[in-house]
Amino acid sequence: ACPPLRRNLQLLAPDEVELAKMLLNEGQIHLFEHWPEPGVDDDKKRGFFDQVRRLNSSYPGGLLSYIQNAKKLLADSKAGKNPYDGFTPSVPSGEVLNFGDDNFVSLEAAGIKEARNAAFVLVAGGLGERLGYKGIKVSLPRETTTGKCFLQHYIESILALQEASCKMVDDGCQTKIPFVIMTSDDTNALTIKLLESNSYFGMEPSQVKLLKQEKVACLADNDARLALDPSDKYKIQTKPHGHGDVHSLLYSSGLLEQWKSEGRKWVLFFQDTNGLLFNAIPSALGVSATKGYNVNSLAVPRKAKEAIGGITKLTHVDGRTMVINVEYNQLDPLLRATGHPDGDANCETGYSPYPGNINQLILELGPYIEELKKTHGAISEFVNPKYTDSTKTAFKSSTRLECMMQDYPKTLPPSAKVGFTVMDTWLAYAPVKNNPEDAAKVPKGNPYHSATSGEMAIYRANSLILRKAGAQIADPVVDTFNGQEVEVWPRITWSPRWGLNFKSVKEKVHDNSSVSQRSALVINGQNVFLEGLSLDGTLIVNAIDEAEVKLTSHVQNKGWIIQHVDYKDTSEKEEIRIRGFKLEKIEQLEVNYTEPGKHSLSA
Ligand code: UGB
């Protein structure tokens, strides 16, 4: 059927001949029509089939399924078919937690106990085009007071959970909580470099596994003809398939079965730049364990039109119901089409009635494995072509199928226990996604989701946690960085081992300690107690575990001053420019306790 291909058949291995036949059957003749006689570009032709092989093996059901799925989804898109046809949205009910109350504290305890049976999975294959940062997002500082990057914070948090969880049970627990990072060609090498050059931030290298997602073939037209790379006609153009790949990668890696054989019960998924996330993990895991949820999504109150999905109950005309994330670009049209003329709008609380999905999922391992045995991790996909005009016959640029990890529950039977847990935004959610220009355009009152707001949210949360624990923390001042008005609280940070949960913070804060607005306080060490500290300046405390340190005195110095930086100022580093400020370190007190025993920092 394709003479240029037939003349080159001797270059191909038998399985490649089969793949070639499949491609011809699926209308992909254009991939070979330009092939010259054997002897010309032979290596490139072989290279082409190497790529076809990879595309075939990395997609559940192979390239044939990919092309067939694409044809169907493209036809639906052309016909204007709504994926939510027949479904009516309503507001679901879930667990709503109040930070620091008795219920919250006991859920945190239950969650920490369960943590030794957990595995963590970070999806970090995205490049963060919206943020406009060139490096990998997990290498960005979570805050610039300590400069620790997101990945370091995540690893230290998992290690702190591991230690605390083992301490809670009296069976000599030595578990090492597994940590998987999904990378992509865009992020893999830099992630390995970050880990290796920092000794895995204290985690045992064998605890960490990287799973690299492959990109998927681009589609040139409504017939799902695969797009050739404009700069190389022996290469199929590819684009990311989305964070939903994490399920098929975990399934094919064999890790799930291994975890099951080790007695693990929970898999926790999270995203690359939420510096507050681990404030929410203990209690949310406690909810999963006490409610017996197969699926538990973490959520926060959502402002209408905010770029996070809404958790929605969908009821089909045939009676089926599911509780699922409806992505932010689909919630508004779905509501308008089902009798809500205002679409995605705030209700009398000032928030959307649909809780905002922060894409932190806790899955119960046993039912998860059973489901993946059926689906092999394939997740419901969508396609989002940009058509040249209303006839919908041509695309402005090639498109591809995409999938999202939070769509996992879509294939579950109605008997599955799917729930969600809502927490305060200040405690649980502050992603770094938007570049300064876009953040400054966010409607007033909606969160910026920028490097500026992400860092300020850490200080705010830590200040509010200390306040709740009884310390006097000064009110914030309001300032504007890169066109974004934010609250600037005292720059308080601590290592996860110091403040893993509210109870452990409360136990260490006594006697009218106070921190002024212009102060910075860094606590590194498990047994550091605030007992009458009055801080006006910068204090850094480093202590070994065997040292019990009481901070009892007044500490005053010139401290660290926040200086404005314009994001256009190319003399500053990119990670500073995107947040719009830097710290001028004028004066600080840094104390190091390296000897065991009782110590006190007094006047
Ligand atoms: N990611 C990958 O690992 N691989 C990919 O191919 C793509 C992404 P974005 P998005 O909580 O704030 C999500 O781009 O997709 C990783 C939810 O869908 O930051 O716009 C990437 O590295 C949405 O419902 O987010 O929106 C990153 O870690 C809402 O919950 C993660 O996937 C929103 O996040 C998310 O990628 C949110």
**Tens of pLDDT along 353-369?**
999 999 999 999 999 99
Q: How far apart are CA 165 and CA 120, in angstroms?
A: 14
Spacing, Cα 602 to ligand 1 middle (Å) = 47
Ligand 1 pocket, mutate which of 58, 121, 122, 123 (most atoms under 8 A from CB): 123
Spacing, Cα 12 to ligand 1 middle (Å) = 38
Question: What pLDDT is attached to residue 455?
Answer: 98
- Which carries the bigger pLDDT value, residue 414 or residue 492? 492
* ipTM over 0.90 threshold: yes
Kindly report the average pLDDT of the chain as a whole number: 95
Spacing, Cα 409 to ligand 1 middle (Å) = 17
How many Cβ atoms are within 10 Å of 231's Cβ, its own excluded? 7
Q: What is the mean pLDDT of residues 17-44?
A: 96
Among left, alpha and beta (phi > 0; psi -120 to 50; other), residue 319 is: left
Strand, helix or coil for residue 349: coil
What token pair was written down for 241? Answer: 């398939």
CA distances from 473 to 413, 470, 551 (A): 49, 9, 15
Question: What pLDDT is attached to residue 460?
Answer: 98
Q: Where residue 198 falls among pLDDT bands split at 50, 70, 90?
A: very high
Q: Where residue 93 falls among pLDDT bands split at 50, 70, 90?
A: confident
Ligand 1 pocket, mutate which of 131, 238, 359, 405 (most atoms under 8 A from CB): 359
Atom of ligand 1 nearest to the CA of 126: 22
242 touches 403 (CB < 8 A): yes
Q: How far apart are CA 162 and CA 500, in angstroms?
A: 11
Close Cβ partners of 330 (under 8 Å, ≥ 6 residues apart): 83, 84
Spacing, Cα 125 to ligand 1 middle (Å) = 9
Is the predicted pLDDT of residue 41 greater than 80, yes or no? Answer: yes
Render pLDDT for 21-33 as a digit per residue (tens, 0 to 9): 999 999 999 999 9
Residues of the chain above pLDDT 70, percent: 100
Surface-to-core class of residue 476, CB atoms within 10 Å of its CB (0-12 exposed, 13-18 middle, 19+ buried): middle
Nearest Cα residue to atom 24 of ligand 1: 309
Question: What pLDDT is attached to residue 257?
Answer: 98
Is the predicted pLDDT of residue 377 greater than 90, yes or no? Answer: yes
Q: How far apart are CA 493 and CA 520, in angstroms?
A: 8
Atom of ligand 1 nearest to the CA of 182: 3
Spacing, Cα 166 to ligand 1 middle (Å) = 32
Q: How far apart are CA 137 and CA 578, in angstroms?
A: 12
What token pair was written down for 72? Answer: 């169907």
Spacing, Cα 431 to ligand 1 middle (Å) = 10
Render pLDDT for 311-335 as a digit per residue (tens, 0 to 9): 999 999 999 899 999 998 899 999 9
Question: What pLDDT is attached to residue 170?
Answer: 85
Question: What pLDDT is attached to residue 528?
Answer: 98
What token pair was written down for 134? Answer: 């060139």
Question: What pLDDT is attached to residue 527?
Answer: 97
Supply the pTM of this predicted model: 0.95
Question: What pLDDT is attached to residue 289?
Answer: 97
Ligand 1 pocket, mutate which of 216, 271, 273, 404 (most atoms under 8 A from CB): 271
Q: Where residue 81 falls among pLDDT bands split at 50, 70, 90?
A: confident
Surface-to-core class of residue 9, CB atoms within 10 Å of its CB (0-12 exposed, 13-18 middle, 19+ buried): exposed
Q: What is the mean pLDDT of residues 252-258?
A: 97
Q: What is the mean pLDDT of residues 269-278?
A: 98
- Ligand 1 pocket (Cβ < 6 Å) reads 123-126, 182, 184, 213, 240-243, 271-272, 308-309, 325, 327, 357-359, 404, 406, 431, 433
Render pLDDT for 147-158 as a digit per residue (tens, 0 to 9): 999 999 999 999
What's the CA angle centered on 501, arms 496 and 503, to 5 degrees? 130
Q: How far apart are CA 491 and CA 562, in angstroms?
A: 10
Strand, helix or coil for residue 500: coil
224 touches 75 (CB < 8 A): no
Task: Enumerate the H helices of 524-602 as residue ranges.
Answer: 574-577
Q: Where residue 602 falls among pLDDT bands split at 50, 70, 90?
A: confident
Question: What pLDDT is attached to residue 603?
Answer: 57
Closest among 513, 508, 510, 489 to 498, alpha carbons compared: 508
Q: How far apart are CA 422 and CA 299, in angstroms?
A: 5
Task: Give the β-pairing of 310-316 and 87-90.
Answer: antiparallel
Question: What pLDDT is attached to residue 534?
Answer: 97
Atom of ligand 1 nearest to the CA of 449: 12
Render pLDDT for 116-134 as a digit per residue (tens, 0 to 9): 999 999 999 998 788 989 8
Spacing, Cα 432 to ligand 1 middle (Å) = 11
Is the predicted pLDDT of residue 138 greater than 90, yes or no? Answer: yes
Is the predicted pLDDT of residue 218 greater than 90, yes or no? Answer: yes
Spacing, Cα 441 to ligand 1 middle (Å) = 21
Atom of ligand 1 nearest to the CA of 137: 22
How many Cβ atoms are within 10 Å of 410's Cβ, its own excluded? 14
249 touches 125 (CB < 8 A): no
